[in-house]
Copies of this chain bind each other. A is one copy, B any other.
Amino acid sequence: MSTPYKYRRLDRDDAAVLLVDHQTGLCNLVRDFSPDDFKNMVLALANSAKYFNLPTILTTSFEAGPNGPLMPEIKELFPEAPYVARPGQINAWDNEDFVKAIRATGKKQLIIAGVVTEVCVAFVALSAIEAGFEVFVVADASGTFNQTTRDASWARMQAAGAQLMTWFAVACELHRDWRNDMEGLGALFAKHLPSYANLISSFNAARK
């Protein structure tokens, strides 16, 4: 605590997004969020990555097996993104192509989400920190078997220096100032925050 604190803040010019194993089979194992909430928050992160035009890297584990294919909505959002179908490595960081794709972005901040949290997310996060990256884990776009497992994995990642965030904080920290694009950000929020969309609808109606 005695060294001066440096606020490592997300920077849209220095950040890349890693989406790890959001596959339809694995998603049905997730029980620390309701299915509606989880789908919404994963897509909120994906749409944020898209909106901020961040380099995004996709990876999967045995799409052709019980883990199932990548969520189709993600596939559609990033047709050109590097896509690493791992032949067996559980920790995606053990896959050279994956790390190469990350390094190719030239970014030093990594925004990571995936399924399941304590494996697909945590292993990558710990490896990335060790490799010198700044790591931001998107806690609500990552899911796992139960709350106990989530709590333990958060503790492990936090102890290693990962910053725990949620998709809304990520979007806000990247955007910095509403004046950069008021409508675009508002549309992103309205799409993934029904209660915020309600505020906007009520406001617009009141103005009429």
| Chain B residue at minimum C-beta to C-beta distance from A189 | B66
Counting CB contacts under 8 A, is A139 at the interface?
yes
Contact partners of A177 in chain B: CB under 8 A = 88-90, 94
Q: If A155-B154, A199-B28 touch, does A205 touch B69 (CB 8 Å cutoff)?
A: yes
Q: Which of A139, A148, A176 has the most CB of B within 10 A?
A: A148
A126 within 8 Å of B by Cβ?
yes
A-side interface size class: 35 or more
Expressed in whole angstroms, the minimum distance between the Cβ of A204 and any Cβ of chain B is 8
Question: Copy number in this complex?
Answer: 8
Consensus secondary structure, chain A interface: helix
B176 near A89: Cβ-Cβ < 8 Å: yes
Give the interface segment out of A11-19, A48-56, A98-106, A159-167. A159-167
Which residue of B68, B127, B173 is within 8 Å of A202 (Cβ)?
Answer: B68
Contacting residues, chain B, for A129 (C-beta < 8 A): 5, 7
A194 lies within 8 A of B35 (CB): yes
